[in-house]
Chains A and B, each alone.
Chain A
């Protein structure tokens, strides 16, 4: 913290700033109109992801508006001396996937990006949160933002997760308990053996979804798993600097007597594979449950009914067996190698259902390479699936990967808002395993019924 303002926010120094093509152009325009520069260009990293096509990335981008935005990122980065990983660059990919992969994400660092899912990086014990474009301009020009001190919440999940229950299910379960605004104003720490036993990929999925219950950020205390992940990555400290950094990372554990403004505890063994039935991520339930009655839901009945009407669902219905038209596996939530391993483990030896369109979109070129090197691609091809190229894709449908109006998608992404995956699209959020079960059956299917040996 650089300075505390009396009766106001703190001035927070930002160690790492990630930018992408959608929320940065107006910030650069602001710099120009104020005639100021970028203070520390080596602390900002640019990657193109929101608009990028997921096929034929070697060809010029067809949509002129998207092409223009991608060009603006490249031009601005070049002008101000910022590393730019544009379309076609080996390091290009989803900002919250490539940041950790290249070691830009470090425990204890302050990390911001003009994207609400910046909370992802909290998986490393970083203080990471999404910002608006005005704040992007602040960070570019002064490496600082103004931030009021948030309240603190701890969410403990203990116990052994059941068969077919993934980090995504844990997160969707928590959000369903807290609602979409239950953690607004808080920074959340996830604690308990469920998170301690989770891989970094799983922790990133959980922290990524913190914003979906309103929390600005979520974090998990760094441990051996974290350190093993960070060590040796391209931008991670090396040699003496690593020893120094390591000593610092080890100080980042939460004090045993730390006091939280709110503390919640859940039993991990009670969590089922989850699916959402409504139009915000808080409207989720165990896949074998029935859609709740308005009377049993917090908030206004009118809003609840509007939501179910949009989805074409009714109170009391089963979710299992509902028709699925599209399946999307990818995004900053579930576009990492583990997600593709899980998907592949279920579809292995089965075949894609004929009437389902499936988009498998890796979060980065590293993930794409891993899928090939581990032999997953062969299994996927055998089962009738095609792997696309990295990007945000159908998570927010800024490129051509749009779900048509009225169609149903099971999506591993983070938001089921009205029209999120294309105007009129209907989204059911779920894990890669639930997505795989839908991909091979064409219906909402409990993955636990499909294979015996799940990862």
Chain B
């Protein structure tokens, strides 16, 4: 299923400078009972965002109107824990199209790439600069340029390049996904399966 095409994203960003943000925080298990991919954004960071009586927690960044944008900037080791793609769905459904961190957990990163959310891994130093810039001015914008693989802090012009495989980059720019690709080589897969030794 083709997803949104990603080319250049220019946006303000929401800072979450906490390390080891796990997928149970991004979307708690009790919200995984849906059988369709709808409504996960409402429960993004549910227990950090709301009190048990469902009133918003004022000190959590998503409840602070000063911060907004299509980019989420997280602390080191973002997305650790469970393989639930629901975490990536929640990030997407809330309105984020890219997540920036100095380090991502593997499965979360992969899940993001599979649904068209761009994970941008930057150096710890650059991550610090981004956090500082946003805290100094919540209107500070980031530009994420996928074709050139660069992320730029527009207020200062400082930029860094990021890694992505040529295959995934092409997929994201064109809005293709892996199933489209795998379907296209199905004959080859069937031949492989027919010749398995065991």
C-alpha gap A243/B187 in the complex (Å): 31
Chain B residue nearest to A402 (CB atoms) is: B30
The answer to whether A23 and B84 have CB atoms under 8 Å apart is: yes
A4-47 interface bits toward B, Cβ cutoff 8 Å, 1 = contact, 0 = none: 01111101010100000011011001100110100110000000
B101-115 interface bits toward A, Cβ cutoff 8 Å, 1 = contact, 0 = none: 001111100110011
B138-177 interface bits toward A, Cβ cutoff 8 Å, 1 = contact, 0 = none: 0000000000000000000000000001111000000001
> Which one, B30, B76, B114, contacts A134 given CB within 8 A?
B114
A205 CB–B CB distance under 8 Å: no
C-alpha gap A68/B80 in the complex (Å): 28
B132 CB–A CB distance under 8 Å: no
C-alpha gap A68/B29 in the complex (Å): 16
Residue from A26, A134, A145, A418 having most chain B Cβ neighbours under 10 A: A134
The answer to whether A418 and B25 have CB atoms under 8 Å apart is: yes
A36-67 interface bits toward B, Cβ cutoff 8 Å, 1 = contact, 0 = none: 10011000000000110000000000010110
A420 CB–B CB distance under 8 Å: yes
A306 CB–B CB distance under 8 Å: yes
**Given A2-B189, A3-B188, A145-B178 contact (CB < 8 Å):** yes
B36 CB–A CB distance under 8 Å: yes
* Size band of the interface chain B makes with A: 35 or more
The answer to whether B103 and A29 have CB atoms under 8 Å apart is: no
Q: Across the interface, which residues of A come within 8 angstroms of B84, CB to CB?
A: 22-23, 132
C-alpha gap A40/B188 in the complex (Å): 14
Q: Give A362 Cβ to nearest chain B Cβ, in Å.
A: 21
Using a Cβ cutoff of 8 Å, how many contacts connect chains A and B?
199
> Which one, A2, A34, A66, A241, contacts B33 given CB within 8 A?
A66
Q: Across the interface, which residues of A come within 8 angstroms of B136, CB to CB?
A: none
**Given A5-B167, A9-B167, A26-B35, A138-B178 contact (CB < 8 Å):** yes
Q: Give A295 Cβ to nearest chain B Cβ, in Å.
A: 16
Stretch at the interface among A177-185, A329-337, A383-391: A177-185
**Given A8-B167, A181-B20, A415-B81 contact (CB < 8 Å):** yes
B66 CB–A CB distance under 8 Å: no
The answer to whether A237 and B198 have CB atoms under 8 Å apart is: yes
> Which one, B30, B36, B52, contacts A398 given CB within 8 A?
B30
**Given A7-B166, A8-B165, A134-B188 contact (CB < 8 Å):** no
> Which one, A2, A397, A419, contacts B47 given CB within 8 A?
A419
Q: Across the interface, which residues of B come within 8 angstroms of A237, CB to CB?
A: 198
The answer to whether A138 and B179 have CB atoms under 8 Å apart is: yes
Chain A residue nearest to B21 (CB atoms) is: A303
Q: Which of B174-198 contact A (CB under 8 A)?
A: 177-179, 181-183, 185-186, 188-190, 192-193, 196-198
Q: Across the interface, which residues of A come within 8 angstroms of B178, CB to CB?
A: 134-135, 138, 145-146
B11 CB–A CB distance under 8 Å: no
A398-415 interface bits toward B, Cβ cutoff 8 Å, 1 = contact, 0 = none: 100000010000000001
C-alpha gap A22/B86 in the complex (Å): 10
**Given A300-B19, A423-B47, A181-B189 contact (CB < 8 Å):** no
The answer to whether B77 and A134 have CB atoms under 8 Å apart is: no
Q: Give B107 Cβ to nearest chain A Cβ, in Å.
A: 6
The answer to whether B33 and A130 have CB atoms under 8 Å apart is: no
B69 CB–A CB distance under 8 Å: no
The answer to whether A184 and B105 have CB atoms under 8 Å apart is: yes
C-alpha gap A417/B22 in the complex (Å): 7
Residue from B17, B24, B166 having most chain A Cβ neighbours under 10 A: B24
Given contacts A26-B36, A133-B85, A216-B107, 13 further A-B contacts (CB under 8 A): A13-B189, A30-B179, A65-B33, A114-B85, A115-B82, A116-B82, A116-B83, A132-B88, A135-B114, A148-B165, A180-B77, A184-B106, A244-B198
Q: Which 5 residue pairs of A and B lie closest in terms of their CB atoms, listed nearest first?
A: A8-B167, A7-B166, A132-B85, A65-B33, A134-B114
